[in-house]
């Protein structure tokens, strides 16, 4: 960044006019003629319009719409300086210029001249100039967009068909009273398939909350929703650096404040999701396998993975193709189409790796991936792949399963420390070397620690709930701990206090890191100012320690202690929002992208504005999840039930619910009350 601002002081360093491209009289062009006209006395009005609607400084985009005149002589373009290696935009400035100067030929001459100035100031500069004219982008509907529109239209048609099936006798198998039989008993299979798309019944299942039964695990709904909000707000703060910030030179100061200590800690919210996923997966599958050992057959294991894949793939594919083919038509800002092309370019090559959940490996560099935030799904799917085998070991010998989980946690911590030491990764898991970032941030060997620590506590909760059913579980170490917490309020409070302290110890140093290291955007500063040992220690311990602190906070709630915390996290609203969190996870970066890059003016970043935008992004994201859930998630959850039923035992009892799939069915993203939401895999059994 320092080199960049040095390049702007070219006139002070040397006279560059001599290096400008010379133009002979016989090389006169329409662009030069229009420029001469603007500078002539009769064109003062047009010259004033050029000045008023052009940017006056770094990342000021001017006024795109007021620039264009009725006689169509002026057009708005954007000059950008990019980092050649990564393709990231360093800065932009809007220009209201004569129309004939906005051709690719004119662009190439000007950008070549600007590039020469960067090389003159710094021979090693990787900065390049480019010009953007939104009118040169093709905004016609392509084949992919047309297909996506047809798919959405077909899904809406299925909505209508589902409503008709629900409120008529179409598809009824017999003529008994409609009030006396449930719809899944009355309708034929094909009618039930259509009924799966009924938006009214699906919406009712999303917003309905069953207040009967055990609510102990409702606390997990609150943890999930708060973690999702933390992620969205954190991405809103961090994504500001990718757009046109008019106060770019003071932007680094925003990250040196107390606020960033809170926001920066959002990186641990992802580890909370891994912990929740491990907890619910191991608790509920163990509760099924420990008694009947049904899932030890080859068919049972296959069904685990089939359901896991089907439950994830439909929302993921729909959102991915929606972004690839339709999002380009949802914005018109001066930077929108260029930004869309940049963010979408990898999808043309690597769209398939997302759909088979290997996108944390292919491509290796996360910056080259399609919908880069979906690396989480790939890791979670891979962790699940080994989970049934560990659960099987637990059914035979609990100690072996615990040892396996602890070994995996220790391996994850050890590899995090080794990678930090080798590549000098800073506490934000960033390094000058992009490969180091990919090694540290998105790969399973550094992310599996929180998941398998969650598995340990999932086993512990199974032992707590089944201590009276299985005699051998009554005197386990965890049950002794739970009994002590149940009998001692002081111990529960102390454990919760320790848990909060541990999480805070690892959250707030992220904010202080930038206070100590200075401007995070100044590339002349070292990538890591903490030193070797502090960084290795922090990255080794931070992820696992954070979720361990979260575990200590939640343990007393499992025995009905900490009523204030339970009252906060067990709110019925969180039950509903938790069901929407998977789609919210997929959609929220698209919402943030749309708001930032469709901006008609450069953004002036302030803590106040970023907080409001972050909270607004949470609200808008969750509102948008409702139609997306009704289109691509809830119908296919219901449809899967009817397609897989012939391969399963006939149920003794059935339930027409948002996540009904029958006994022994695995449900991804189940919330604590048995409803589905964000990336976790759980087992549902109906009594």
- Indicate the DSSP class of residue 178: T
pLDDT value of position 559: 93
| pLDDT at residue 443 greater than cutoff 50 | yes
Confidence tier at 86 by pLDDT (50, 70, 90) = low
Instruction: Evaluate whether 114 touches 10 at the Cβ level (below 8 Å).
Output: no
Distant-in-sequence, close-in-space partners of 338: CB < 8 Å, separation ≥ 6 = 78, 80, 132, 137
Confidence tier at 69 by pLDDT (50, 70, 90) = low
Q: Taking Cα atoms as reference points, which of 519, 509, 607, 527 lies closest to residue 252?
A: 519
Calculate mean pLDDT across residues 193-204: 94
Tell me which of 24-33, 361-370, 449-458 is least confident. Answer: 24-33
More confident call, 225 vs 72: 225
Q: Taking Cα atoms as reference points, which of 113, 161, 105, 106 lies closest to residue 10?
A: 113
| pLDDT at residue 228 greater than cutoff 90 | yes
Calculate mean pLDDT across residues 496-525: 72
| pLDDT at residue 390 greater than cutoff 80 | yes
Sign of CA dihedral 229, 233, 236, 241: negative
Q: What is the pTM of this model?
A: 0.86
Token readout for 519 is 């401007």
Confidence tier at 411 by pLDDT (50, 70, 90) = very high
Confidence tier at 60 by pLDDT (50, 70, 90) = confident
pLDDT value of position 679: 33
Share of residues in the chain with pLDDT > 90 (%): 43
pLDDT value of position 592: 94
pLDDT value of position 414: 96
More confident call, 7 vs 624: 624
| pLDDT at residue 43 greater than cutoff 80 | no
DSSP labels, 638-649: HHHHHHHGGGSP
pLDDT value of position 174: 67
Rounded CA-CA distance 332/323 in Å is 16
The two beta strands, 89-98 and 74-83, are: antiparallel
Instruction: Evaluate whether 570 touches 221 at the Cβ level (below 8 Å).
Output: yes
Phi and psi, residue 148, nearest 5°? -65, -40
Token readout for 140 is 């016609």
- Indicate the DSSP class of residue 172: B
Rounded CA-CA distance 333/598 in Å is 4
Q: How far is CA 64 from CA 22, 209, 336, in A?
A: 30, 48, 12
Range with top average pLDDT, 468-472, 566-570, 671-675:
566-570
DSSP labels, 316-368: HHHHHHHHHHTGGGS--STTHHHHHHHHHTTHHHHHHHHHTT-TTTSSSSGGG
Residue 474, number of CB atoms within 10 A of its CB: 14
Distant-in-sequence, close-in-space partners of 486: CB < 8 Å, separation ≥ 6 = 559, 560, 561
Tell me which of 166-170, 185-189, 633-637, 650-654 is least confident. Answer: 650-654
pLDDT value of position 32: 77
pLDDT value of position 405: 98
The two beta strands, 676-684 and 665-670, are: antiparallel
Token readout for 520 is 């995070």
What is the C-alpha radius of gyration for the chain, rounded to an integer number of angstroms? Answer: 29
Token readout for 56 is 């006056």
pLDDT value of position 15: 38
pLDDT value of position 71: 67
pLDDT value of position 258: 65
Residue 351, number of CB atoms within 10 A of its CB: 18
Structural element, H or E, at residue 92: strand 89-98
Residue 206, classified by CB atoms within 10 Å of its CB into exposed (0-12), middle (13-18) or buried (19+), is buried
Rounded CA-CA distance 279/285 in Å is 10
pLDDT value of position 672: 42
Structural element, H or E, at residue 48: helix 44-52
Token look-up 């309905």 returns 208
Range with top average pLDDT, 143-152, 176-185, 463-472:
143-152
| pLDDT at residue 272 greater than cutoff 80 | yes
Tell me which of 245-259, 415-429, 457-471 is least confident. Answer: 245-259
Residue 257, number of CB atoms within 10 A of its CB: 14
pLDDT value of position 6: 45
Instruction: Evaluate whether 275 touches 281 at the Cβ level (below 8 Å).
Output: no
DSSP labels, 373-422: GGHHHHHHHHHHHHHHHHHHHHHH-HHHHHHHHHHHHHHHHHHHHHHHHH
pLDDT value of position 685: 31
Mean pLDDT of the residues in the chain: 81
Residue 494's Cα: distance from chain center in Å? 34
Confidence tier at 10 by pLDDT (50, 70, 90) = very low
């Amino acid at each position: 960044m320092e080199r960049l601002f040095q390049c702007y002081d070219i006139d002070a360093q040397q006279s560059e006019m001599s290096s400008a491209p010379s133009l002979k009289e016989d090389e006169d062009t329409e662009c030069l003629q229009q420029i001469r006209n603007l500078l002539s006395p009769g064109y003062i009005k047009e010259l004033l319009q050029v000045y008023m609607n052009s940017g006056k400084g770094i990342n000021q985009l001017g006024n795109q719409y007021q620039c264009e005149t009725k006689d169509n002589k002026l057009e708005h373009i954007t000059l950008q300086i990019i980092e050649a290696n990564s393709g990231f935009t360093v800065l932009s400035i809007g220009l209201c210029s004569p129309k004939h100067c906005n051709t690719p030929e004119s662009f190439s001459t000007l950008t070549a001249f600007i590039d020469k100035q960067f090389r003159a100031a710094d021979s090693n500069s990787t900065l390049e100039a480019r010009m953007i004219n939104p009118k040169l982008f093709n905004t016609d509907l392509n084949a992919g967009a047309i297909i996506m529109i047809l798919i959405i239209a077909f899904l809406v048609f299925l909505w209508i068909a589902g409503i008709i099936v629900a409120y008529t006798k179409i598809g009824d198998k017999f003529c008994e009273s409609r009030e006396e039989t449930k719809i899944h008993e009355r309708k034929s299979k094909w009618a039930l398939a259509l009924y799966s798309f009924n938006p009214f019944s699906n919406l009712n299942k999303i917003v309905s909350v069953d207040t009967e039964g055990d609510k102990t695990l409702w606390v997990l709904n609150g943890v999930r929703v708060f973690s999702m909000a933390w992620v969205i707000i954190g991405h809103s703060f961090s994504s500001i650096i990718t757009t046109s910030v008019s106060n770019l030179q003071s932007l680094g100061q925003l990250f040196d404040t107390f606020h960033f200590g809170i926001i920066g800690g959002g990186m641990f919210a992802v580890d909370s999701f891994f912990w929740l996923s491990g907890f619910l997966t191991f608790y509920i599958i163990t509760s099924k396998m420990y008694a009947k050992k049904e899932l030890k057959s080859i068919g049972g294991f296959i069904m685990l993975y089939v359901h896991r894949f089907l439950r994830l793939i439909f929302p993921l594919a729909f959102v991915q193709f929606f972004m690839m083919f339709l999002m380009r038509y949802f914005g018109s800002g001066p930077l929108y189409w260029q930004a869309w092309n940049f963010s979408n370019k990898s999808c043309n090559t690597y769209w398939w790796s997302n759909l088979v959940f290997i996108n944390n490996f292919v491509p290796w560099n996360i910056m080259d991936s399609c919908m880069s935030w979906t690396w989480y799904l790939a890791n979670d799917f891979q962790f699940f792949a080994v989970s049934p085998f560990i659960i099987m070991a637990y059914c035979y010998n609990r100690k072996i399963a615990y040892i396996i989980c602890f070994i995996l946690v220790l391996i994850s911590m050890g590899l995090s420390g080794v990678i930090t030491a080798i590549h000098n990764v800073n506490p934000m898991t960033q390094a000058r070397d992009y490969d180091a970032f990919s090694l540290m941030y998105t790969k399973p060997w550094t992310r599996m620690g929180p998941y398998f620590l969650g598995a340990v506590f999932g086993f512990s909760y199974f032992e707590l709930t089944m201590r009276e059913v299985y005699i051998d579980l009554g005197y386990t170490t965890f049950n002794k701990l739970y009994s002590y917490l149940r009998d001692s309020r002081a111990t529960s409070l102390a454990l919760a206090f320790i848990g909060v302290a541990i999480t805070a110890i690892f959250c707030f140093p992220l904010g202080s890191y930038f206070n100590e290291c200075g401007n995070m955007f100044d590339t002349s500063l070292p990538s890591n100012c903490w030193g070797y040992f502090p960084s290795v220690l922090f990255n080794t311990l931070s992820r696992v320690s954070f979720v361990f602190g979260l575990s200590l906070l939640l343990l007393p709630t499992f025995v009905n202690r900490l009523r204030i915390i339970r009252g906060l996290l067990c709110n019925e609203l969180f039950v509903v929002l938790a069901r929407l969190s998977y789609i919210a996870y997929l959609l929220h970066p698209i919402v943030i992208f749309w708001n930032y890059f469709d901006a008609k003016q450069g953004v002036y970043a302030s803590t106040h504005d970023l907080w409001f935008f972050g909270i607004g992004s949470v609200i808008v994201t969750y509102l948008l999840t409702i139609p997306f859930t009704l289109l691509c998630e809830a119908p296919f959850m219901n449809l899967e039930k009817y397609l897989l039923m012939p391969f399963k035992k006939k149920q003794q009892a059935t339930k027409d619910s948002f996540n009904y799939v029958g006994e022994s069915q695995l449900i991804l993203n189940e919330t604590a009350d048995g409803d589905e939401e964000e990336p976790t895999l759980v087992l549902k059994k109906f009594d």
